[in-house]
A and B are shown apart, each in its own frame.
Chain A
C-alpha cells in the first residue's frame, strides 16, 4: 500500500512560457488562463488535475462559512522511522513547509447552498495524501463532530494509500476511520464520499468506498492494488481504462461521475434527500 505510485501518466512538465500549462494526462498545451478558468480540467481530454485542499474547499463551501476543525492535529513519528533518504521527521517537516499544511487532510465545517456539513479534504501534495495517524485522527474527530451535530459528512479523497513511515499505526487508521463511519450510519447521518485522482490502497479500502453515495471525478485513478503489482502478479497487460472512475462506475462501485464545475450543485441535490425530517 504505497502512498505514491506511478500512475502511468506523464510527469507534469513545467512549460517554459508563463502562458502555457501542459496537461499532465494528454500533454496538450493549454493557455494558462484557460486552464485556471476551467478549474484545472483539461479541455482536450477532460482530465481533472489534482488540486489542493483549500482550492477544493473554496469550490464547494459557501463563502465565509468555513470553520476549521481539529486543526491542532499534526504529524507524529510513532516508529521513529528513517529510510535511505533520512528521517521521516525531516520529510514531514519538508511537506509542511512546502504546503503550509500540518497533515494530509483539511477538516472542518461549513455550508453548501445553506446546508451545514462537515468535511474532510485530502491533499495529495502532502506526502501523497497518505493516510497517517494524524490524518486518521482528523477524519475520525471530524466524523464524531458531524455525528454530534447531525451534519452530513463529506470526504474528498486524494491519496496513494497508507503512509509507510507510520507503519502499522497507519494501517490501523483504516479500521479507526471506518468505525467512525459506522457510527454515523447508526445515527442516520449522511456520509458522502468523493473520490478524486488518485484514490488507491488503504484509503480506497476504507472510508472512500463506504459512502452512502460514492462520487468520482472524471478519469480519476481508483483502485486497491497498484497497476504494476497487478501486472507482475498476473503477467498480463491491463486494459487502458482499468481502475479509472469510468471503470468503477461500470463495475458498480461508484454512483456517479461528476465534473468539478458541477460538484457543488450535485452535492447540494444529494443533501436534500439526506435532510433530517
Chain B
C-alpha cells in the first residue's frame, strides 16, 4: 500500500512488475527496460524520501503495515506470558502486557496494541486505551518493581480513548496516577516510541529512564489534525500544524526528550519489518545492559532529573 507521496514510486514499481510478467509469459526480452526502470526507481526513491516532511512522517508512522507491539514481541521474545486485567474493572486490549524473555533478559513488557485485522482493531479500540488499560499497565509495572524486572514500554497510540465510560471511570486520574507512580519505580524503564505517540495517552505509560524513538515515529501533544482545527480553524492545514508542532524523532532529540533514534529502512519500518524489529531489539538490549547496573536510587533520581530538565527556565 503506497502513501500519496509515494505514488511516483508505485507507478514505476507496477510497470516493472508488468514487464516481469510479460518476460515470463512470452519469449520477448524486456531485461534492458527493466534494468532502466530499476535505476529510475532508485533515483526517484532517493528524491522522494530525501524530501519527506513531518506530515509524510505522520503517514508512515500510521502506516497500516507498520510493525505493531505483537510483531515486536514475536520477533524478539522467546517467551511472552501475557497478564490480564486491572483488578478494578476489566482487561483493556488497547494496552497489553506481561512477563517476557527478550533476548535472554527477563523483563516486563507493556505497550499499546493497535490491531492488524478489523476484528483486532475493534477489540483493541485502535490502540486507544481506557482507564482500565492504564491501570493494568500500572499494576504490571508495580509487579515488575516487586520482582526487580526492568520494564520496556512500547508506545503506539492515537491517544487515550475519549469516551463517556472512559471519563466516568477516571481517564484523567488513571493517567495522572501512572505519571506519579512511574517516577518512583525502582527498576529500569525503557520507553520505545514505535509509531504514534499520541499525547496524554502516550505519556501515560511513557515515563522512562531512557526514551528511544523510531526514525519515522511521531510524538505530539495533540494530533496535527486537532491542532489545525483549533489554531488554523481548518483541518486541512494539518501538514502545517505537523511541521509547527515539531513531532519527529529528530525534533524531539533536539528538544532533549528523545535519547536515541532507532533508524528505519528507507520508506519506513514496514519495508523491512524483520530488520527493524532486530534493530529495535539491539538498541533495547544495549540500554538494558547499561541501566541494569544502576541502583534503584540512581534510577529514580536519573528519571526525575531527565524530566525536571525539560522546560527548565534559563535566564537570558
Say whether A10 faces chain B, with CB atoms less than 8 Å apart.
Answer: no
A180-216 interface (Cβ within 8 A of B):
180-183, 185-186, 201-202, 204-210
Question: Which B residues lie within 8 Å of A4 (CB)?
Answer: 230
A226-268 interface (Cβ within 8 A of B):
226, 229-230, 233-234, 236, 238, 242-243, 251-253
Contact at A251–B168, with CB atoms within 8 Å? yes
Say whether A73 faces chain B, with CB atoms less than 8 Å apart.
Answer: yes
In the assembled complex, the CB of B217 is this many whole angstroms from the nearest CB of chain A, namely: 12
Contact at A182–B183, with CB atoms within 8 Å? yes
Specify the main secondary structure of chain B where it touches its partner: helix
Say whether B303 faces chain A, with CB atoms less than 8 Å apart.
Answer: yes
The count of chain A contact residues (Cβ–Cβ below 8 Å) is 66
A125–B160 CA distance with the chains assembled, in angstroms: 27
Say whether A30 faces chain B, with CB atoms less than 8 Å apart.
Answer: no
A11–B192 CA distance with the chains assembled, in angstroms: 43
Contact at A176–B221, with CB atoms within 8 Å? no
In the assembled complex, the CB of B157 is this many whole angstroms from the nearest CB of chain A, namely: 13
| Among candidates A73, A205, A208, residue contacting B313 with C-beta atoms closer than 8 Å | A73
Contact at A168–B247, with CB atoms within 8 Å? yes
Say whether A179 faces chain B, with CB atoms less than 8 Å apart.
Answer: yes
| Among candidates A136, A205, A238, residue contacting B172 with C-beta atoms closer than 8 Å | A205
In the assembled complex, the CB of A247 is this many whole angstroms from the nearest CB of chain B, namely: 8
A137–B255 CA distance with the chains assembled, in angstroms: 16
Q: Determine the interface band of chain B, counting residues with CB < 8 A from chain A.
A: 35 or more
A186–B251 CA distance with the chains assembled, in angstroms: 34
Question: Which A residues lie within 8 Å of B168 (CB)?
Answer: 251
Say whether B1 faces chain A, with CB atoms less than 8 Å apart.
Answer: no
Contact at A225–B167, with CB atoms within 8 Å? yes
A223–B162 CA distance with the chains assembled, in angstroms: 10
A234–B255 CA distance with the chains assembled, in angstroms: 36
Of B104-112, B137-145, B174-182, the one with at least 4 CB within 8 A of chain A: B174-182
Contact at A183–B304, with CB atoms within 8 Å? yes
Contact at A83–B231, with CB atoms within 8 Å? yes
Say whether B237 faces chain A, with CB atoms less than 8 Å apart.
Answer: yes
In the assembled complex, the CB of A26 is this many whole angstroms from the nearest CB of chain B, namely: 24
Task: Return the chain B residue nearest A4 by Cβ.
Answer: B230
In the assembled complex, the CB of B218 is this many whole angstroms from the nearest CB of chain A, namely: 10
Say whether A41 faces chain B, with CB atoms less than 8 Å apart.
Answer: no
| Among candidates B161, B230, B257, residue contacting A2 with C-beta atoms closer than 8 Å | B230
| Among candidates A79, A85, A234, residue contacting B246 with C-beta atoms closer than 8 Å | A79
Say whether B75 faces chain A, with CB atoms less than 8 Å apart.
Answer: no
A29–B22 CA distance with the chains assembled, in angstroms: 82
Contact at B176–A205, with CB atoms within 8 Å? yes
A173–B166 CA distance with the chains assembled, in angstroms: 23
A172–B170 CA distance with the chains assembled, in angstroms: 20
In the assembled complex, the CB of A233 is this many whole angstroms from the nearest CB of chain B, namely: 5
In the assembled complex, the CB of B256 is this many whole angstroms from the nearest CB of chain A, namely: 9
A134 in contact with B226 given A174-B200, A178-B176, A205-B204 (CB within 8 Å): no
Task: Return the chain A residue nearest B232 by Cβ.
Answer: A84
Task: Return the chain A residue nearest B227 by Cβ.
Answer: A164
Contact at A169–B310, with CB atoms within 8 Å? yes
Task: Return the chain A residue nearest B310 by Cβ.
Answer: A172
Question: Which A residues lie within 8 Å of B232 (CB)?
Answer: 83-84
| Among candidates B162, B171, B245, B310, residue contacting A164 with C-beta atoms closer than 8 Å | B245
Pick the most buried of A134, A174, A202, A207: most chain B CB atoms within 10 A of its CB: A174
Say whether B315 faces chain A, with CB atoms less than 8 Å apart.
Answer: yes
Task: Return the chain B residue nearest A247 by Cβ.
Answer: B168
A186–B222 CA distance with the chains assembled, in angstroms: 32
28 contacts between A and B (CB under 8 A): A1-B221, A79-B245, A84-B233, A85-B231, A132-B311, A162-B222, A164-B230, A164-B245, A168-B220, A168-B257, A169-B255, A170-B311, A172-B257, A172-B310, A173-B310, A174-B200, A175-B183, A175-B203, A176-B308, A178-B180, A179-B183, A179-B303, A179-B307, A182-B181, A205-B204, A206-B179, A208-B176, A225-B166
